[in-house]
Amino acid sequence: MKLKSCLTTVLLAFISLQCATPEPDFTREVITLKKGWKFNKGQHPNATKIAFDDSKWEDVTVPHDWAIYGPFDKEIDKQIVAITQNGENIATEKTGRTGALPYIGEGWYRNEFTIENFDDNKKVLLLFEGAMSEPEVFLNGEKVGEWKYGYSYFYFDVSAYINGKAKNTLAVKLTNVGKSSRWYPGAGLYRNVSVIVKNKESFEQWSTFITTPSITLDKAEVNIKTKASEKNLKLVTEIYDVDGNKVTSNETKAHTNNAFEQHIEVSKPQLWSPESPYLYTAILKLYHGNVLKDEITQRFGIRSIDYSPDTGFSLNGKTRKFKGVCLHHDLGPIGTAVNTSALRRQLKILKDMGCDAIRSAHNMPSLEQLELCDEMGFMFLAESFDEWKKPKVENGYNRFFDAYAEKDIVNLVRATRNHPSIVMWSSGNEVPDQWGSEGVKRAKWLQDIFHREDPTRPVTVGMDQVKAVMESGFGAVMDVPGLNYRVHLYEEAYQHFPQGFLLGSETASTVSSRGIYKFPVEIASMKTYPDFQSSSYDLEYCSWSNLPDDDFVLQDDKPWVIGEFVWTGFDYLGEPTPYDEAWPSRSSYFGINDLAGLPKDRYYLYRSRWNTEDETLHILPHWNWEGREGETTPVFVYTSYNSAELFLNGKSLGIQKKSKKTKQNRYRLMWMDVEYEPGTLKVVALDEKGNPVAEKEVKTAGKPYKLVLESDVKTIKANGEDLAFVTVSVVDKNGIPCPTATNQLNFKVEGNGTFRAACNGDATSLEPFHLPTMQLFSGKLVVLVQSTEEAGDITLIVTGDHLEKGEVLIKSIL
C-alpha cells in the first residue's frame, strides 16, 4: 500500500468495556479477577478438576510474576550461543541473558467466580491481557482454549461452559521453556484477567473503530464503525468533551451484516498531541426497540498524522521528529506484573526529559501503558514480534509463527487501534528473515494484515541488516524504513529506498552505570572492567552500536531522518552487554535511567536537547576521588546553554563553548585537563552575550551520616495496588550527598501500607528485590511502598549502621 499524503486518523484511546450509569435493563458487567488466585509452580495434571485441593497453594493477586522473587542463579537458562545480532561468530556461555531468574517451568493458577446475572440470554467472555506463556485455559473441568504468544491479548467465548449462577472454577496452565527469549520475559498471569458478561444482543469484542477522516479548525468528522451480535438493533452514540459536557450525538438503525457506521461532526475540535493530549469520550448504546442492551464507553482523540517525502512525519499538519525511547515490558524490581503507578512514574520521568514517543520493544504493550500515553501525551510505536519464521533463539516465536502470526496481529490491532497515541505499527525487530525473497514476502504479508485491520497507520520493521534489505527489496516494501543503528549507512539507505525518509527505530545502545566513572576517559567499544560496570562519562558503546552524539548529528542535519527511538529509556532485566559472559551481571546497562528508575548522567544529555521548555545544567563526575589528588579527572557538563565557565575551589578553569569541532564538542561541554583536588566544583552557564544565567555545584562529601528520603508522590490510592517510589540517599553532616556510599540499609513500613520491593540499580547485585534490606549503589536506592485497601498514614523508616535514620510520610486516600 502506498501511504496517502495524509493519514488523518483520529484514534480513540482505550476500550474500557465498563458499565455505564445503571439503567433498568442489564447491559454488561466486567469482573476483573485480581483477588482469590491460588498459584503453584510444577506439574499438576489434576489441577483442572473442580474438586482439586489447592488449599496449600500460594495465595496471590493478579497481575503476578512468579519469577521476580528469585533467587538469581547463573545456571538458569544458561545458554551456549553466538548472538548473531551482536556480530558474534563463536558460541560462548551466556549466564544473565534472561535475567538469571527462575521463569522456566510450568505454573498453575486457579480461581473461582460467580455470575449473578447469568441466564440463557447472556454471553460470557474470558479475556486475558497477557499470560507468559503458552496458556491453556480450563473452566469447570473443561478445556476452553489455548494460546501461544505470551505477549498477546486474547479471549474466549465461554458461555457454553458457565455453571449457571453457581461457582465457576477457572484453571490456567502456563509453560515457559528455556532458550525462548533474549531478555527476561517474566512468568505468570502478569496482566489482567477479566470476565465480561453481556447480553447476546451486544457489541462484538474489539469491533469498534473510531477515526477522523476530515479535520479543520471549525469541525472534525468522527467516523465510528462497530459490529453487533444480533440483528434489528439501533446504535446511539454520544460524544462528550473532557469536562463531561455532551457536544454531539447520533442515532442509526442502518447496518449491513451486523456492522454499523456513523459520521458525526464535532465543532471546534480540540486536537490531541504530546503537548496537549486532549481526549473526548464516546458512549455507544445498543438498543433493541426501546430496550438498552449494551453500552460501552471509549475515549478517543482527534488528530491527524502524515508521512511523506516532502515533510517527513507530521502531526496535525506540523512537521516534527520523534524524540523517543524503546522500553522492555519489565518494571524493574516488580518484574513484569503490570502496575499503573509504576508505568506512570516511568512516563513522568521521560516527560521531564523531553521524550515524546515510546516504542514497545519487542512486544505488544499493556493496555495500561497505552491509556497513560493517551492521557500524558506520548506518541507510540506498537511492536508485535522479535522473531518471525527464522529463529533467533531455539524455542522462540518461530515455533508459532505460521499458526499464530495473523491472529496475534489481528488481536493487537483490534484491541488497541483506538488509542490516539499509536502513530505507527511494527511487525518485527531485527528478524533474520531480512535475508532473501521469502523474508520480503513475509514482510509484505504481515504489513498487509496491519493495513487490512487499520488502513490509517503505517508499518515499520526495525532493520539491522541494512545491506541485505537494500539488496533484497525488504526495506523498499515497508511503509516506514526503520534502521537499527548502522549510522554509517543512513545516507546510502536514504538514496536507495523509495520512501524518501528514514526512521531511527533503535539508536545508540550506549552503556553506563549510574555514578560510576572510569579513567582514562576515552571513546571505547565493548569496554569491560573488573567490577563489571560501565563508565558514566557516556563514551562507551557496543560492537553494533554508537554514541548518542552520532544520532544527534543525523537528527539535526538530515531533514529526511524523522526521529529516533533510543535503546533504552530504562534498564531492564537480562541482556547485560558488554558483560553477558560475566557473572554476576544480570541486567542491562543501556538505560538512560537505571533499573530503579534513577537518572544516569546520560538522562541530562538527552534532556539538554529534548526538553526545550526547561533549563538543563548538569555536571559530572561526582567530586569524591580520594587517592586521585593531582590526577587528570575530566569534567563534562550537559546543558541547554551553549557555553559555560568552570570553577574549582573558586579558580576559573576556563570557558567552553559548543562547536562542531567533534560530535562530542557539538553537544557536550568538556574540560579534559582538570586535575582533581577536593572541594567545590562549580559550573556557571552563560547566555549568548557571555552573561552568567545559571550555576550548579558538586562538592566533596565527608563520611556518610544521615539518610534522606524523598517520595515521588505525597498520596497514593488505598486500592491495594498503588505504589510510592521513595528515593533513599545518604548525606554527610553538612547535608552533602555521599556519591560513593555502599551502606547496607533496612526498611520498615508502618501504618496502612506494605513494603513491596527495593532496587539500587546495580546490574551485578544478587540481593532479592522483595526482602526489606539492600545495599546502596553510588549512594542511592529506591524503596517501593504499596497501599492497602484502608486509607490512612503510611510511614517508611529506613535505617543503617552508624547512620541517622530516615523517615517519610505518605498519605493513603480513598
- Per-residue pLDDT band for 262 (boundaries 50, 70, 90) equals very high
Look at residue 329 and tell me whether its pLDDT is greater than 60. yes
Architecture of domain 706-813: Sandwich (2.60)
Domain ranges of the chain: 12-28+203-300, 34-67+103-191, 321-610, 625-699, 706-813
Look at residue 85 and tell me whether its pLDDT is greater than 80. no
pLDDT in tens, 562-617: 999 999 999 999 999 999 999 999 999 999 999 999 999 999 999 999 999 999 99
Look at residue 630 and tell me whether its pLDDT is greater than 90. yes
Question: What pLDDT score does 5 carry?
Answer: 34
CA distances from 289 to 61, 232, 297 (A): 42, 8, 21
What does the buried/exposed string (b/e) look like for 80-95 if buried means 16 or more CB atoms within 10 Å of the residue's CB? ebebeebeeeeeeebb
Look at residue 78 and tell me whether its pLDDT is greater than 50. yes
**Measured in Å, how far apart are the chain's first and last C-alpha atoms?**
50
- Cis check: omega of the bond before 133, within 30 degrees of 0: yes
- Per-residue pLDDT band for 4 (boundaries 50, 70, 90) equals very low
pLDDT in tens, 36-63: 999 999 999 999 999 999 999 999 999 9
Alpha-carbon torsion 239, 243, 247, 249, what sign? Answer: positive
Please tell me the CATH code under which domain 625-699 is placed.
2.60.40.10
pLDDT in tens, 674-717: 999 999 999 999 999 999 999 999 999 999 999 999 999 999 99
* 749 Cα distance to chain centroid: 29
* 434 Cα distance to chain centroid: 26
Nearest C-alpha neighbor of 339 from the set 97, 658, 68: 68
CA dihedral of 481, 483, 488, 493, whole degrees rounded to 10: -20
CB count, 10 Å around CB of 595? 28
Cell digits of residue 414:
483490534
Look at residue 15 and tell me whether its pLDDT is greater than 50. no
- The burial class, CB within 10 Å (0-12 / 13-18 / 19+), for 100 is buried
Question: What pLDDT score does 181 carry?
Answer: 96
pLDDT in tens, 203-217: 999 999 999 999 999
Look at residue 83 and tell me whether its pLDDT is greater than 90. no
Beta-carbon contacts of residue 172 (< 8 Å; ≥ 6 apart): 108, 109, 110, 131, 135, 136, 137, 138, 189, 193
* 333 Cα distance to chain centroid: 15
Catalytic residue numbers read: 430, 506
Work out the average pLDDT over 150-159. 98
**Candidate from 579-583, 727-731, 806-810 with smallest mean pLDDT:** 579-583
Question: What pLDDT score does 670 carry?
Answer: 98
pTM here?
0.95
Average pLDDT across the chain, whole number: 95
Same CATH fold assignment for domains 12-28+203-300 and 625-699: yes
Question: What pLDDT score does 94 carry?
Answer: 84
pLDDT in tens, 367-409: 999 999 999 999 999 999 999 999 999 999 999 999 999 999 9
What distance in Å separates the CA atoms of residue 623 and residue 345, rounded to the nearest whole number? 29
Look at residue 18 and tell me whether its pLDDT is greater than 60. no
Work out the average pLDDT over 455-467. 98
Work out the average pLDDT over 445-453. 98
What distance in Å separates the CA atoms of residue 483 and residue 502, rounded to the nearest whole number? 7
Asked whether the beta carbons of 563 and 532 are under 8 A apart, the reply is no
Question: What pLDDT score does 86 carry?
Answer: 72
Question: What pLDDT score does 231 carry?
Answer: 81
Work out the average pLDDT over 437-450. 98
Strand partners, 28: 198
What distance in Å separates the CA atoms of residue 418 and residue 11, rounded to the nearest whole number? 4
Asked whether the beta carbons of 98 and 77 are under 8 A apart, the reply is yes
CB count, 10 Å around CB of 471? 13
Look at residue 479 and tell me whether its pLDDT is greater than 60. yes
Please report how the helices 601-610 and 548-557 are oriented relative to each other, as an axis angle in degrees rounded to 10: 10
Cell digits of residue 194:
477479566
Look at residue 114 and tell me whether its pLDDT is greater than 80. yes
Question: What pLDDT score does 22 carry?
Answer: 37
Is 12-28+203-300 CATH 2.60.40.3140? no
Work out the average pLDDT over 472-477. 97
Question: What pLDDT score does 93 carry?
Answer: 86
Which CATH topology does 34-67+103-191 take? Jelly Rolls (2.60.120)
* 296 Cα distance to chain centroid: 27
Q: Which secondary structure element, helix H or strand E, spans residue 551, and what is its range?
A: helix 548-557
Cell digits of residue 752:
496502612
Name residue 371's amino acid: E
Look at residue 11 and tell me whether its pLDDT is greater than 70. no
Which CATH topology does 321-610 take? TIM Barrel (3.20.20)
Question: What pLDDT score does 23 carry?
Answer: 44
Question: What pLDDT score does 84 carry?
Answer: 76
Work out the average pLDDT over 151-163. 97
- Per-residue pLDDT band for 256 (boundaries 50, 70, 90) equals confident
pLDDT in tens, 771-790: 999 999 999 999 999 999 99
